[in-house]
Amino acid sequence: MTSEEYDKLTDVEKRIKVAEFDGWTDLNSESMGDLSALSKVTDSAERVLVPDYLNDLNACHEMEKGMTEEQLKTFHSNLSIEGHCDYRFYDSDICHATARQRCKAFVLTMTAGDKQ
């Protein structure tokens, strides 16, 4: 997925992409007017709300914890390309980006292998 393709997605579509790449399954999209309607089935078969990644930095930090070292390098590079992170400081983890900016970089990172 390219940056331009991501920008054309609705907020609901962006949230679904992030949730899927973050490992959420069985997303409930019946009430797409309410973003909190997205949920997944946990091990106990209990449906829980998917975080509002686009507006929740804590959720983004949790999503980042699941990335491999290589994915983190690509993620920080994507933030740098978008102007939100100085990649030279990757080792010190200096990066000031909003939740929305982190979500875009996350999706671009996770789809990096899909580019033709």
Domain ranges of the chain: 3-114
CB contact at 8 A, 99 and 56: yes
Locate the DSSP E strands across the chain. Answer: 39-41, 47-49
Show the DSSP H helices in 22-114 as ranges.
Answer: 57-65, 69-81, 99-110
43 pLDDT tier (thresholds 50, 70, 90): low
Average pLDDT, the chain: 79
CA distance 116 to 112: 10
37-53 mean pLDDT: 66
Residue 41: its pLDDT value, please? 56
95-108 mean pLDDT: 91
pLDDT tens digits for 78-97? 888 766 665 555 555 567 78
Residue 76: its pLDDT value, please? 85
The dihedrals phi and psi of 49, each to the nearest 5 degrees, come to -75, 140
